[in-house]
Structure 1
């Protein structure tokens, strides 16, 4: 007949021999997270070519071999950095308190814009990484299998809002979800990613909160005017392909 050991029968606690393994796992997870966060800053500041694995290891206070142990090398580390910052954006987008089945469609779309604009403000490293990767023509982003799948839920949310708006008669017909998303991101992105050069060119501090707030108001007005039913001629599906010309 089997008997329970005193440790499990009286205390109900797990065997203490498992505790060191758990602590090692926790330490390993913290070490990996620290290296990833240092790598995000290093790649954001210097791009893929300028960043050095030696620097990331030194600032993470680990041996350089640990980078290769946890990530497999510089290229794989960089791809994971891209996946991490974009996953953080997508997760936050989907977590926005927005009931697409009940909220006014125009209001919901503007809320998505506000979130994106705010996320870029809070995470300038994302702007830098996207700029570097565009210079590289998405060379490393193409290596990721998970990044393309991240975007589908966001487009689904926009698609639902657009369809409801068309059904309700509050949005003009023919709005493409992807085109709309790119427009929202453009309005939230360009004035931040290019603020330093634009500020010097026009002698205006475009990162000042007052200027940024005024730009948000203008962006709202532009998006609202675009979404409004009857604000532009609603083209049929093949009009643009045929090269038809319309006037408003």
Structure 2
């Protein structure tokens, strides 16, 4: 006998149960890391599946192609940003503090999600060729401008916010203030000989940019507000 007398044979281990949601999530997490580090063209699907602990067949089963996986990655990282931005009730929040909270969320999110900054940089280099394929991203973005617009309208009516502001212009300005100093921190640090990644520098920069937004949003005092019409376009030299 191959087994000692009286000992029960060892139980066979049950095959691991499939968990489609977990596998898909692992693939997305690995893809975010790979695409943000290498860009679309430099990313390799074999590295993604290896990092996710699965195989190439599963990647194509859940996403269809490398292109569709990349679009899904953009939807995830931008969806997380929108989730942070929409944590304010535009009907109950005080308009000026509410708008400043939107800026706080934008700044905090860009600060804590370097992969988002890198993916946006790569996608801009590629002229948003993948982003335009996503209807979901458009759906996610509309509520943000609606939120800002309602806060601006209430703020203007209550005299808390200057009149005539456009939600998209304001949002782009907020993102610019939150994004540029981080997205270009490596080059700026070298050019000016100061570490822009340092926590102290980032905190002082946030204090300054937040006051810039607050000062711009407040109504002018002691006279009429300056016009907010766009400057005239300059003629191109002939």
CA distance in 2, matches of 1:241, 1:220: 25
| 1:229 alignment partner in structure 2 | 219
Per-residue CA distance 1:171-197 (angstroms, 9 max, x = gap): 111100000011111111111111111
Q: Give the drift of 1:241.
A: 7.6
Q: Give the drift of 1:57.
A: 1.3
| 2:150 alignment partner in structure 1 | 160
Higher helix fraction (1 or 2): 1
Per-residue CA distance 1:114-137 (angstroms, 9 max, x = gap): 111111111110000000000001
Per-residue CA distance 1:26-85 (angstroms, 9 max, x = gap): x11111110110000000000000001111112222221211111101000000000111
Cα RMSD for the two superposed structures: 1.9
In the superposition, the TM-score normalised over structure 2's length comes to: 0.85
2:57 aligned with 1:68, yes or no? no
* Alignment match of 1:86 (pick from 78, 81, 103): 78
CA distance in 1, matches of 2:232, 2:47: 55
CA distance in 2, matches of 1:189, 1:49: 24
In 2, are the aligned partners of 1:174 and 1:234 still within 8 Å (CA)? no
* Alignment match of 2:96 (pick from 65, 81, 106): 106
| 2:168 alignment partner in structure 1 | 178
In the superposition, the TM-score normalised over structure 1's length comes to: 0.82
> Counterpart of 1:161 in 2: which secondary structure?
helix
In 2, are the aligned partners of 1:173 and 1:234 still within 8 Å (CA)? no
> Counterpart of 2:98 in 1: which secondary structure?
helix
| 1:6 alignment partner in structure 2 | none
| 1:16 alignment partner in structure 2 | none
CA distance in 2, matches of 1:92, 1:172: 25
| 2:204 alignment partner in structure 1 | 214
In 1, are the aligned partners of 2:35 and 2:70 still within 8 Å (CA)? yes
Decide whether aligned partners of structure 1 residues 222 and 46 sit closer, same or farther in structure 2, where only a CA change above 3 A counts: same
CA distance in 1, matches of 2:209, 2:231: 28
Per-residue CA distance 1:141-192 (angstroms, 9 max, x = gap): 0111111111111111111110011101121111000000111111111111
- The aligned length equals 216
CA distance in 2, matches of 1:58, 1:161: 46
2:24 aligned with 1:36, yes or no? no
CA distance in 2, matches of 1:241, 1:227: 19
In 2, are the aligned partners of 1:57 and 1:67 still within 8 Å (CA)? yes
> Counterpart of 2:135 in 1: which secondary structure?
coil
